[in-house]
């Protein structure tokens, strides 16, 4: 039992969730390591949504709304931390949801799909085919889902699929606390924020954006600026840590 007044309450609750879902086979042991890396970067960012990440979240909403066929790709960690939030984002953005795993087994795909459905998400189903130019199982996706999509949101990604999707001409929105990762640098747009803060913000922007602002955000999107700002935030915090 984690007391609500514990100074690290939010972080401890997330750890409790991620380890419980690891016990259920939804998160992999590698996913626990990935979560720890995310926590470290979040600590360096002050465990808050920085100003440029808010703008990235608004831009992400604009890209989803303007897309012809947007898809939200969900892996084990994302399902464990925010199945309910994915439901809200699906409603707000109209995007399809597809499960795509690095450590893929049919059993995990089923468990994650069930968790999402239990939270109200409409999950694409069908026979996954090896359609992405990758040598591992992340190549497996649905023809009418990720393969046909023009904009794909990939929370907590590993870099090579992001670059494969970009090489196929798709716009990729990454959510990644590490502004130095391959994913962050390869994506069309990177939201450097914790996934459970980022997704509700993107949903809120989906509900409030008008057409003119949507077009302006898409026109002016420059991922390098978002990454530089996150790196500046981290270096500034480190420089002044003991002031
Ligand atoms: O469920 P699977 O089989 O698809 O596997 C999922 C993992 C996460 C294990 C797989 O995609 C992986 O190995 O990812 P990486 O290469 O470790 O990348 C994950 C990235 O997400 C890292 O840069 C972390 O800093 C970042 N990250 C971790 N937790 C969070 C996060 N970013 C935002 N919010 C988080 N909670």
At residue 53, the pLDDT reads 98
Residue boundaries of the structural domains of the chain: 51-239
**Ligand 1 lined by 197 (C-beta under 6 Å):** no
What pLDDT is stored for residue 195 in this prediction? 98
What's the confidence (pLDDT) of residue 24?
A: 97
Question: DSSP 3-state assignment of 173?
Answer: strand
| Alpha-carbon gap, residue 215 to 218, rounded angstroms | 5
In the block, tokens 């109209």 appear at 94
Query: Is the confidence at residue 157, as pLDDT, over 90?
Result: no
pLDDT at 159: 78
Q: Confirm if 169 and 151 have CB atoms less than 8 A apart.
A: no
Calculate mean pLDDT across residues 156-161. 84
Residue nearest to atom 17 of ligand 1 (CA): 34
Q: Is the CB of 102 under 6 A from ligand 1?
A: yes
What pLDDT does residue 166 have?
96
- Which has more confidence, 188 or 159? 188
Confidence band of 100 (pLDDT split at 50, 70, 90): very high
Give the pLDDT confidence of 196-210 residue by residue, as tens digits.
999 999 999 999 999
Indicate whether 212 pLDDT > 80: yes
Rg (CA), the chain: 17
- Residue whose CB lies within 8 A of the most ligand 1 atoms, among 22, 33, 34, for a mutation test: 34
| Average of per-residue pLDDT across 151-169 | 92
Residues 30-54 have a mean pLDDT of 97
The confidence band for 1, taking pLDDT boundaries of 50, 70 and 90, is: confident
Residue 233: its pLDDT value, please? 98
Which atom number of ligand 1 is nearest to the Cα of residue 183?
A: 23
If one counts every other C-beta atom within 10 angstroms of the C-beta of residue 82, the result is 24
Nearest to 166 by CA among 174, 155, 178: 174
Residue closest by Cα to atom 5 of ligand 1: 102
Phi, psi of 132, deg, nearest 5? -100, 145
**Regarding the domain delimited by 51-239, which CATH topology (the fold level of the hierarchy) does it fall under?**
Rossmann fold (3.40.50)
Indicate the DSSP class of residue 187. S
Share of the chain above pLDDT 70, in %: 100
Mean pLDDT of the chain: 96
DSSP class of residue 59 equals H
pLDDT at 3: 87
Residue minimizing CA distance to atom 21 of ligand 1: 156
In angstroms, rounded to a whole number, what is the distance separating the alpha carbons of residues 147 and 77? 22
Q: Categorize the per-residue pLDDT at 158 as very low, low, confident or very high, splitting at 50, 70 and 90.
A: confident
185 lines ligand 1 (CB under 6 A): no
CA nearest to 196, candidates 40, 18, 70: 18
Residue 88 has a pLDDT of 98
Sheet holding 189-191, edge to edge: 96-99, 70-74, 151-155, 171-175, 189-191
DSSP secondary structure, the chain, as one string? ---TT-TTHHHHHHHHHHHHHHHTTSS-HHHHHHHHHHHHHHHHTTSS--HHHHHHHHHHHHHHHH-SSEEEEE-HHHHHHHHHHHHHHHHHH--EEEE--SS--HHHHHHHHHHHHHTT--B--S--EE-SS-SSGGGEE-TTTTTT-SEEEEES--HHHHHHHHHTT-EEEEE-S-TTSHHHHHSSEEE-S-HHHHHHHHHHHHHH--HHHHHHHHHT--HHHHHHHHHHHHHHHHHTTT-
Does ligand 1 lie within 6 Å of residue 21's CB atom? no
pLDDT more than 90, % of the chain: 94
Give the Å distance between the CA of 77 and the centre of ligand 1.
7
Q: Is 190 in the pocket of ligand 1 (CB under 6 A)?
A: no
137 lines ligand 1 (CB under 6 A): no
Report d(CA 164, CA 137) in Å as an integer.
13
Confidence tier at 2 by pLDDT (50, 70, 90): confident
CB 83 within 8 A of CB 121: yes
Q: Is 37 in the pocket of ligand 1 (CB under 6 A)?
A: yes
């Amino acid at each position: 039992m984690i007391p609500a007044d514990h100074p690290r309450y939010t972080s401890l609750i997330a750890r409790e969730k991620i380890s419980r879902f690891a016990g259920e086979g939804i998160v992999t042991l590698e996913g626990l390591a990935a979560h720890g890396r995310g926590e470290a970067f979040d600590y360096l960012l002050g465990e808050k949504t920085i100003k440029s990440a808010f703008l990235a979240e608004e831009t992400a909403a604009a890209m989803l709304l303007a897309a012809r066929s947007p898809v939200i790709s969900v892996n084990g960690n994302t399902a464990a931390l925010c199945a309910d939030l994915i439901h809200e984002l699906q409603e707000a953005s109209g995007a399809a949801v597809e499960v795509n795993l690095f450590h893929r087994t049919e059993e995990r795909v089923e468990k994650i799909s069930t968790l999402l459905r239990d939270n109200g998400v409409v999950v694409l189903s069908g026979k996954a085919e090896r359609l992405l130019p990758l040598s591992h199982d992340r190549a497996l996706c649905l023809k009418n889902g990720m393969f046909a999509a023009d904009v794909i949101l990939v929370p907590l990604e590993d870099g090579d699929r992001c670059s494969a999707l970009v090489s196929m001409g798709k716009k990729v929105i990454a959510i990644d606390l590490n502004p130095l990762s391959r994913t962050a640098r390869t994506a069309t747009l990177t939201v450097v924020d914790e996934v459970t803060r980022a997704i509700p913000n993107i949903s809120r922007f989906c509900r409030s954006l008008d057409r003119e602002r949507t077009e302006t955000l898409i026109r002016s999107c420059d991922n390098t600026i978002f990454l530089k700002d996150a790196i500046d935030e981290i270096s500034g915090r480190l420089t002044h840590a003991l002031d």
